[in-house]
Chains A and B, each alone.
Chain A
């Protein structure tokens, strides 16, 4: 039985290992931090959030300040998939972000059917916004129903 934990990570309950969902590589002990099985790279944030303003004219250019912020990129050591990124001030200890109780997890999945492809939940937040907008538009005299736009007269 394998339990999907993130887009790129799963836990094999039988072997008690973290695995890569792309290539099946075993990252390590599921009772430990999965990051210990990954490769890490300290990325200058200006390489991703590139300066959009002329750096000769301005010091603030939409890029993060590399002396305040670094991007840690975590890669699967087998297939090179980027499993996680972490924005941290320079030198800050990486976070132990997923610490699950494996015994409880086994018990929880004892009677559940294995999920191979992650279930996509309903898009409720976006639906609620659309509903709210429609109500608001109606209240303010805009008819947005059925694609007809314009003021009510």
Chain B
């Protein structure tokens, strides 16, 4: 054996290994690096000469306009429901795959992921004689393991050559929905392995000479439930990117290559400098928050996400160690690159909305995770419902950053509690009334309640947690295209509120049924039925828990025919408590439901959620309390019990004096019942999670991870984390039922023997 080989032999060995790689899987060198790559030679050549900031500003405006135009094209022409609501983005990248600019509207996260596949193409296909990259090529991709939020999003990526030189990359991404997974609609909570997730496109060439290759398109159409959608949107994305290309070429014609190269690089570098400057304004130290997710969407199981943000000078470190381990057979894992893209989105959405939408907002921030945790899952893990940890990433900033930001003499945006962060919408699939097979999800996902602000209540159903711009869709269009009928929609969910001095913005009720399909079904993918999801701030309460309600075994259309007044109003609480539809099987369930068939006229009901509250409820202005009562958002009982306001039932006039007295009494009661912290901790803190609670994550020490695997509790070092395997919920239910049968049999035998 030789310990050392010559440089020549080493080079030969490296080349041999590179040429003979068995599988070009997701490349850790690409996927674990969210940083802006160093200046290329071309960039250095342009910038070292000095580049006029005014010129950069001018070019940036033109590029932004071009991105905006291509965004509008996809928004107008896209066939996917998501495209119609704005669940898309277009973007431009430097020649070496740095995400330079994102369309001024749309979903930041998509583009914040798409530089990974572009880097993959550059590294692997550019010099590969069997693939190559040339003018007129277009590449498609959907597998989040190569970069992406989840496999339901598809990107079109195109290199832009100008006078023979690769100047930049362009992309367009849409949340397409259907992708041929084990459940319709593209978000299969039932996926137990990555092979249940539907088509998994690593980046490959699907366009040559600006034309789709029909053989590959057909292959993709053949792999999904909605072949028309697959074709239409591939065309839409291609032509939007081609229009963007025309605009960028026009900029190059007018201003030259150096102007664009310089602008993109300067944009990235300036953003990084500004982020570091803002970090250095924050106090040094660490702020922390814990996020708890109570479901795998197949069963209730508590998963902790531990967040510690440390600031030291102009350095910021986000430390997620102590977070729950990955699931081997549940789809709520995410890979680290997707998680970071969601972090970038959350930072822009909640903390510094005025910063340019580019990868440079996150690149200066260091991220530490435990490998094989639920937010840094290994490639074989299913991650079709990665939305669960990703939505948590979007709001991970809000509480700890408010604790850094509050002191600042100059704030860049309002102090705000957490937005509701669950995908509270119906995912659907089956046969339409037109005989087409389809699967997708509804625009109600975009109506999440805003967190309360330090100076005002949160806005109701304001936007999705992952984007500023998104419509909640037109139910009429949906009813034309699918058998879904809305019995109730956009009615604010009364009393389901994140209470506080300022309350969270509320979510709305969604009541749906199906009609005229031989085969139709729904699924829902939300946590927060046992443990609330949107956190309050500075003494404000979280949102409540939310449930999925069903009325099965009836046909509401038949009932309405028999008695048009059978339901006075489609209000979830009234329907569930008064049970006006005879013969219905009413149930209240977890918000995580795998695909389930819905017969004509059966009713499914969910809510969008409230944002977290801000501040002590006793400081809420009684006038604001009564405004909520008058607007029928809040019951008079809750106005009294939560906010401690004294008022006249009929006139709703507040007795200010009595209210002040009552609130003073309540403060005294607090003093009487509260215990000093150290004493409280002695009584409260347990050495490990309670035995009854299926629990994943650290407890008192982030280096030790608790897990429940196959029903058994285990403890492991965080740096040697193993995945968790969950038993089939039906097997668990059968086991419980068998246990009950055995017990009943024994009781029966006892009765018989005593006779």
Q: Which residues of A contact B (CB under 8 A)?
A: 3-8, 33, 35-42, 45, 48-50, 52-54, 57-65, 67-69, 71-75, 77, 79-85, 87-101, 104-105, 108, 112-113, 115, 118-129, 131-133, 135-136, 139-140
Contacts and interface: CB of A to CB of B under 8 A. Distances in A.
Contact of B670 (A41, A65, A88, A124): A41
Given A7-B615, A98-B285, A125-B353, A40 B544 contact: no
B561 interface: no
A82 B539 contact: yes
A91 B690 CA distance: 7
Given A4-B406, A129-B469, A121 B414 contact: yes
Interface stretch (B174-182, B210-218, B242-250, B680-688): B680-688
Interface in B609-651: 614-619, 638, 641-642
Given A63-B545, A94-B684, A122-B413, 6 more contacts: A39-B670, A60-B529, A67-B693, A82-B618, A120-B411, A125-B413
A136 B453 contact: no
Nearest to A113: B409
Interface in B347-375: 349-350, 353-354
Which of B286, B499, B546 has the largest number of chain A CB atoms within 10 A?
Answer: B286
Contact of A125 (B284, B350, B407): B350
A105 B411 CA distance: 17
B321 to A, nearest CB: 14
Nearest to A53: B576
Interface residues of B, number: 109
Interface string B437-471: 00000000000001001111001001100001111
A116 to B, nearest CB: 11
Interface of B: 72, 75-76, 86, 105, 283-290, 292, 294, 300, 302, 312, 349-350, 353-354, 399-400, 402-403, 405-416, 450, 453-456, 459, 462-463, 468-471, 495-496, 499, 501, 529-532, 535-536, 538-542, 544-547, 573, 576-577, 586-590, 614-619, 638, 641-642, 666-668, 670-671, 673-678, 680-681, 684-686, 689-690, 692-693, 695, 699-700
B667 A64 contact: no
14 contacts: A36-B678, A39-B674, A40-B677, A48-B642, A49-B532, A67-B693, A75-B670, A89-B531, A99-B286, A99-B287, A101-B283, A105-B284, A132-B105, A136-B105
A101 B539 CA distance: 23
Nearest to A11: B407
A4 B403 CA distance: 10
A71 to B, nearest CB: 7
Contacts of B414: 120-126
B577 A93 contact: no
Given A7-B614, A120-B414, A139-B72, A48 B541 contact: yes
A30 B423 CA distance: 40
A75 to B, nearest CB: 4
B283 A100 contact: yes
B421 to A, nearest CB: 14
A100 B495 CA distance: 37
B677 A65 contact: no
A11 B612 CA distance: 25
B702 to A, nearest CB: 11
Contact of B450 (A63, A69, A85, A126): A126
B677 A6 contact: no
A77 B700 CA distance: 26
Contacts of B400: 97
A120 B292 CA distance: 30
B545 A49 contact: yes
Given A7-B538, A118-B406, A136-B86, A75 B674 contact: yes
B692 A67 contact: yes
Given A53-B573, A121-B413, A122-B414, A128 B468 contact: yes
B403 A98 contact: yes
Given A60-B547, A80-B668, A100-B285, A65 B573 contact: no
A37 B350 CA distance: 31
Nearest to B351: A125
B686 A91 contact: yes
A101 B468 contact: no
Contact of B469 (A38, A108, A120, A132): A132
Contacts of A57: 576-577, 586
Contacts of B587: 58
A105 B616 CA distance: 27
Contact of A80 (B416, B450, B586, B670): B670
Contacts of B288: 95-97, 99
B677 A37 contact: yes
Contacts of B72: 139
Contacts of A62: 496, 544-547
